[in-house]
Amino acid sequence: MGLLDGKKAIILGASSGIGWAIAERFAEHGAELIIAARRQE
């Protein structure tokens, strides 16, 4: 069971850098994510 199970998050700027790292960590801890970025990569 993750620390963020059942939580939802919107992360902007998730194509690289801090946004990407935050998205990875939130997902590892069980959060449901909506991510947005300018690049599709």
The pair of three-digit structure tokens given for residue 25, joined into one six-digit string: 């960590």
Q: Which residue has the higher pLDDT, 25 or 39?
A: 25
State residue 1's pLDDT score: 75
pLDDT digits (tens, 9 = 90+) for 3-22: 999 999 999 998 899 999 99
Q: Give residue 41's pLDDT.
A: 65
Contact between 35 and 8 under an 8 Å Cβ cutoff? The reply is: no
* Domain boundary assignment for the chain: 1-41
Residues 31-38: what's their mean pLDDT?
94
In degrees and rounded to multiples of 5, residue 21 shows phi and psi of -65, -40
Q: Residues 18-30: pLDDT tens digits?
A: 999 999 999 999 9
